[in-house]
């Protein structure tokens, strides 16, 4: 197996930064759009054969260094008794606003509630020669959707709960930490080599509120994982003001939003963690020459132990294929140590 990605997560020497792309299985691929004509989003997530097909599509096109299972951060909540639809964003039938709502939230074993995710990971790991990533939403981000009933700018409902009823919010976050930790552990047992935690809405918090509410919950979720586990990546976009606190979550790798320089992130976190990122997604909307120039700048900014090349957010649906090809070509041509190539692994293949 090409273990360039795992070595970089551990801050070990690699010949070049590994590359994968957040939302690499998605709407910018014509084959994914064709798949979605056959099945809606939740059906793809809940059908292992379709989830594996979606996960494999970018690896058939591109020489990437990791695969990520096709799923959604809200999937485990369905097993906790939460009814939802996607049209196209998530919509919950009944927001959780009271103590009794939260007490009714179940915490079933994820091996039962999300068995289809484990099945997809197991099959995917048999089909590829690169590490497989599982993932989950962070407790705070899941709570934001649950209390709001879907996505909304600023998430005013959970902000109100934070100030009016912080004890109830902490109770919800405690339950979600259990769900998230179990979901991540189940994915690792199913064959994932690493996992990523997406804290999509941590950035709406002040540092003090992040330290009181979001950070303890995500630390608890990570602490629930087996001692002998694969690397954990923690990513929160638009959270540059929280970077030092995020470094204390217990992850091995910190995902960095495109709004923060990698060298600055390394300085602010004391060089203790590997870093992932952070080309701006809209940089891929430019011509190939511009993509190559901007990608090289990110690679130089991230030069040092433990850099995983990625975007600073998910790839945009309107991204041209040739822009992704230019990104990959640039990363493949970038040597972290031109003299000592201790590792000569190639990018992965699909069977």
264 annotated binding-site participant: no
Query: How far is residue 291's CA from residue 283's CA, in Å, rounded to a whole number?
Result: 6
Q: Which residues contact 130 (CB under 8 A, 6 or more apart)?
A: 1, 2, 5, 59, 64, 65, 66, 67, 347, 348
Query: How far is residue 335's CA from residue 276's CA, in Å, rounded to a whole number?
Result: 17
Known active-site residue 252: no
Known active-site residue 228: no
259 annotated binding-site participant: no
Query: How far is residue 303's CA from residue 65's CA, in Å, rounded to a whole number?
Result: 18
Pick the CATH number of 28-266 from 3.30.1490.100, 2.60.120.10, 3.90.550.10, 3.20.20.210: 3.20.20.210
For 100-140, the pLDDT digits (tens) are 999 999 999 999 999 999 999 999 999 999 999 999 999 99
pLDDT at 336: 72
323 annotated binding-site participant: no
Listed by start position, the domains of the chain span: 28-266
pLDDT at 346: 55
Which of 145, 220, 252, 292 is labelled catalytic? 145
210 annotated binding-site participant: no
For the chain, 351 residues long, give each residue's pLDDT as a single digit of tens: 999 999 999 999 999 999 999 999 999 999 999 999 999 999 999 999 999 999 999 999 999 999 999 999 999 888 788 888 887 788 888 899 999 999 999 999 999 999 999 999 999 999 999 999 999 999 999 999 999 998 888 899 999 999 999 999 999 999 999 999 999 999 999 999 999 999 999 999 999 999 999 999 999 999 999 988 899 999 999 999 999 999 999 999 999 999 999 999 999 999 999 999 999 999 999 999 999 999 999 999 999 999 999 999 999 999 999 999 999 999 999 987 554 344 444 566 676
Which of 36, 211, 212, 296 is labelled catalytic? 36
Query: How far is residue 306's CA from residue 10's CA, in Å, rounded to a whole number?
Result: 7
Which of 3, 65, 72, 209 is labelled catalytic? 72
Cα angle for residues 187, 274, 190 (degrees, 5° grid): 10
pLDDT at 87: 74
Query: How far is residue 39's CA from residue 42's CA, in Å, rounded to a whole number?
Result: 8
- Residue among 156, 211, 146, 212 at smallest CA distance from 180: 146
Query: How far is residue 214's CA from residue 136's CA, in Å, rounded to a whole number?
Result: 15
301 annotated binding-site participant: no
276 annotated binding-site participant: no
Which of 23, 97, 266, 292 is labelled catalytic? 23
Known active-site residue 36: yes
Known active-site residue 145: yes
Known active-site residue 126: no
């Amino acid at each position: 197996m090409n273990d360039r990605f795992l070595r970089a997560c551990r801050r070990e020497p690699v010949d070049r930064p590994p590359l994968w792309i957040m939302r690499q299985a998605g709407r910018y691929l014509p084959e994914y759009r064709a798949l979605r004509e056959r099945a809606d989003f939740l059906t793809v997530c809940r059908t292992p054969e379709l989830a594996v097909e979606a996960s494999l599509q970018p690896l058939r096109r591109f020489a990437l260094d990791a695969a990520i299972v096709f799923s959604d951060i809200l999937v485990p909540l369905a097993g906790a008794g939460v009814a939802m639809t996607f049209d196209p964003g998530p919509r919950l039938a009944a927001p959780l606003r009271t103590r009794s709502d939260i007490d009714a939230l179940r915490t079933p074993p994820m091996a039962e509630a999300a068995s289809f995710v484990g099945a997809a990971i197991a099959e995917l790991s048999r089909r590829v020669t690169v590490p497989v990533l599982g993932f989950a939403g962070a407790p705070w981000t899941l709570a934001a959707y649950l209390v709001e009933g879907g996505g909304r700018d600023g998430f005013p409902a959970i902000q109100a709960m934070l100030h009016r009823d912080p004890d109830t919010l902490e109770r919800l976050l405690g339950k979600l930490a259990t769900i998230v930790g179990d979901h991540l552990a189940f994915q690792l047992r199913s064959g994932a080599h690493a996992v990523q935690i997406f804290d999509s809405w941590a950035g709406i918090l002040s540092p003090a509120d992040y330290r009181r509410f979001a950070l303890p919950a995500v630390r608890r979720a990570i602490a629930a994982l087996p001692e002998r586990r694969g690397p954990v990546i923690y990513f929160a976009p638009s959270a540059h003001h929280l970077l030092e606190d995020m470094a204390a979550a217990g992850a091995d790798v910190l995902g960095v939003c495109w709004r923060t320089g990698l060298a600055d992130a390394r300085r602010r976190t004391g060089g203790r963690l590997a870093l992932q990122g952070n080309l701006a997604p809209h940089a891929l909307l430019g011509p190939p020459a511009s993509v190559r120039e901007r990608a090289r700048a990110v690679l130089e900014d991230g030069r040092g132990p433990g850099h995983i090349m990625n975007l600073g957010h998910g790839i945009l649906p309107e991204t041209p294929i040739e822009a992704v090809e230019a990104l990959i070509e640039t990363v493949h041509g970038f040597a972290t140590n031109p003299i000592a190539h201790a590792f000569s692994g190639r990018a992965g293949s699909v069977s």
